[in-house]
Amino acid sequence: MRWLRAGCLTLILLFSYRDPLIPSIHAGEIETIKVAVPMIAMNFMHAGVARKLGIDRQEGMALEVILMRVSMAMAALIAGGIDYNFAFE
């Protein structure tokens, strides 16, 4: 029982002090990622929220959320104009 408590304490300390163990992304250059969404709705809210809260910048990227029809988004994805398409037909 004592080893279980020690193991849990070790995991808690490891995950709470993980910043020195993991190299920082902030030193690298920020990559712009273009994301197409078909409409403003709760289904596609996660990209906008990540952008508003700065989570994308913390992870080393800058999200550009573009409102686009599904057919145009698929053509833009194939042509390389956008990186991700959050809509499916």
Task: Give the C-alpha separation, 89 to 86, whole Å.
Answer: 10
Determine, yes or no, domain membership for 15.
no
Residue 8 placed within a domain? no
Decide if 75 is inside a domain: yes
- The CA distance from 37 to 66, in Å, is 6
pLDDT at 8: 55
Give the other-Cβ count within 10 Å of 4's Cβ: 8
| pLDDT-above-70 percentage for the chain | 67
Mean pLDDT, rounded, for 1-5? 62
Is residue 57 situated within a structural domain? yes
Q: What is the DSSP letter of 34?
A: E
Residue 13 lies in a domain: no
Residue of 45, 39, 50, 32 lying closest to 87 (CA atoms): 39
Q: How confident is the model at residue 81 (pLDDT cuts 50, 70, 90)?
A: very high
Which of 5-9, 48-52, 55-59 bottoms out in mean pLDDT, i.e. has the lowest?
A: 5-9
Domain that holds residue 31: 26-85
| Helix boundaries (H) for 17-89 | 45-53, 55-58, 70-79
pLDDT tens readout for residues 12-26: 655 555 455 455 555
| Mean pLDDT rounded to a whole number for the chain | 78
Please indicate, yes or no, if residue 17 is contained in any of the structural domains.
no
Q: How many domains are there within the chain?
A: 1
pLDDT score for 16? 53
